[in-house]
Amino acid sequence: NVTYLPKYQVLMIGEDSGGGHQNDAMWAYHVPSGRLTRMLTTPYGSEVTSNYWVPRFGGRGYLITAVQHPYTESDQGRVGDEASTGSGSWIGVVGPFPALD
């Protein structure tokens, strides 16, 4: 669950800790500086997957990621909460990023 944004020198990491915490996350690791930044977190029990970098679409860059099986691995009782997104998977697009040539 990793992808690299070469012109930005950023490694995107979709991390699930094998049950070590409730919400998994996607992190941006800036290789030259060693800086790690949390980019997003997921609902209970889900996982960040399928990170994919599109370097140029319509003159911009986009990061695509998926959140799969929320509330199914843990916290099944929370799926009915008012703020719950349900148990369906989601695909998201982050961007646009400026195109770098």
Q: Determine if the pTM surpasses 0.75.
A: yes
Average pLDDT, the chain: 84
The strand pair at 35-41 and 25-30 is best described as: antiparallel
**pLDDT band for position 16 (50/70/90)?**
low
pLDDT tens per residue, range 41-56 = 887 777 888 899 999 9
How far is 32 from 24, CA to CA, in rounded Å? 25
Asked if pLDDT for residue 74 goes beyond 80, the answer is no
